[in-house]
A and B are shown apart, each in its own frame.
Chain A
C-alpha cells in the first residue's frame, strides 16, 4: 500500500474524513495536553488534509493524547480526532516508531496484567522508573504510601491469571491476523 492509501485506510477505520475539518482550532484550544504537544489535534488534521502521514506518525502528539475526548466533543463537525490518533498510533507501532517512555510504561503495565491478572501500582511505578531511567519520579510519595499501607507489598495473582494470559495471547494473534487480511 502506498502512503496515501494507508492514510485513507486509517481515516476510514476511525470514521474520520479530513475534509470535514475546517481548521477552526476549537480542538487545540480546548486540548489539555496541547501545550506539551508538537502538532496538537488541529495539526494532526491539517497533516491528514495535505497527506503528510509521515509527520503524523513521527509526532509526539499521537503518544501524548490522553483520550479525554474534549476535542471531538467541541468539534463543530464531530471529527473524531482521538479515534484517528489511536489508528495512527497502531500504524506507527507497526512501523516500529515508538516513544520510548510510553513504550516502557505500556509494556510494563501489560507485563503486570500477565503476571497477576491485575495491575500492581507499586511494581508498575518501580519498574517504570527503573527502565525509563527516572529513579526519583514520584519517589517523595513513597513513604506515605508505605506507612499508610496503601500499596500491598506482596502481589497476589488472581485465580484466572492463566485465562487472562490466554486471552491476551489470542487477542494479539487476532490483531496480527486482521493486519494480514487487510494487506
Chain B
C-alpha cells in the first residue's frame, strides 16, 4: 500500500471543501494512505517570500521537518499548487544551496535534511499502479463530457525545481481524466498563470488573466474546466459573474452597478463550471453530490455532470447531484 505524509494546505479548511472531500474519497478508493502532517502551518504562499526570503523558506520547512521527524520514510504530498511550489522550493533550496540550508536550520531551530521528496497529487495519480486502481474503482463512465485540463503554473514551473518534462502542453491530467470517459479538449491555456497570487492586491491587472483562461476553454468547446489546485479552482469560478457582466458591458456599452452581481446571474452559456480532477474521479467512482458537497461551487456543476452521465434515471440524478 502506498503511504504519504500529507500537507492539506489552508484552503482545505475553507474554500476547498468539496475538493478536500473528493480527495479523501478518491485516495481511499484507490488504497493510498495519506497521513496528515501533525500540526502543520501555512506555507506562507506568495506573501511570506515577497516580504522575506528566509521566512518564505522557513514556513514550508517547518511542515517538512515535522514530516521528516514523524515519518522518516514517507514522501510529502500536497493537493495545492501554491503549497506545492513553496514546499518544493524549500526542499530544493535545502538540497542545493548550502547558505539557504544553514538559514533554514537556524530559523527552525531543528534539523531538516530534505531527504524525502515533495510531490503533488498529479505525480501520484499518474503512477501506473495507481492508474490501474483508478480504472478498477470507476463504477460509471462519463459520455461526451468535454473537459479542459488546467494544470496551473506552479504545478509545472519552475522546471528546474519541479522537474516537469513538458511545460507548455503537459498531458498527465488529460491521461487521468480519460479514465473516467471524459474527453479532454486541445486548448492553449493549460499552464497559463491565473493570477491567483495578486487577485487581492492588483485586482485590475489580474482579472483579465482569469477571464482569458475561461474564454479560451469555452472557445475550445469544453463543458467543464478541470483543476489540480484549490487556488486555481476558486479563482476560476468565483468571479465568473463579474467576467460575464464585463463582457456584456463591452458588447452593449452600458455600465451595470458591480454590486448587482449578487442578484443578477448570467446566462448559463456565459459561464463554465469548474471541477477539480479528484471531484471528477470521485463522481465516476460513485460518490454522490451530497457526499462531496458539490453545491458549494460558485458556478453550478449539477447540470453538466447529469449531462455527462446520461445513463442515469431522474432519481439517481437527484440523489447524485445536490
Question: Interface on A for B, CB 8 Å cutoff?
Answer: 32-33, 35-37, 63-64, 66-70, 72-73, 82, 86, 89-90, 93, 99, 101-102, 104-107, 109-110, 112-113, 117-122, 124-125, 128, 132, 134, 136-141, 143-145, 148-152, 158-161, 163-164, 166-168, 170-172, 174-175, 178
Contact = CB atoms under 8 A, between A and B. Distances in A.
B143 interface: no
B104 to A, nearest CB: 9
Contact of B48 (A70, A109, A140): A109
Main secondary structure of the interface of A (DSSP, over half): helix
Given A66-B206, A148-B17, 16 more contacts: A33-B209, A36-B208, A37-B205, A64-B202, A66-B153, A68-B153, A102-B201, A118-B10, A136-B258, A140-B261, A145-B15, A150-B17, A164-B41, A167-B58, A167-B59, A171-B52
Which interface class (under 10, 10 to 19, 20 to 34, 35 or more) fits B?
35 or more
Main secondary structure of the interface of B (DSSP, over half): helix
Contacts of A125: 200
Interface stretch (B71-79, B154-162, B267-275): B154-162
A32 to B, nearest CB: 5
B209 A32 contact: yes
The 3 closest A-B pairs by CB, nearest first: A36-B205, A68-B193, A109-B47
A66 B53 contact: no
Contacts of B203: 134, 137
A73 B159 contact: yes
A90 to B, nearest CB: 7
Contacts of B195: 32-33, 66
Contacts of B259: 136, 139-140
Given A106-B51, A168-B55, A172-B52, A36 B158 contact: no
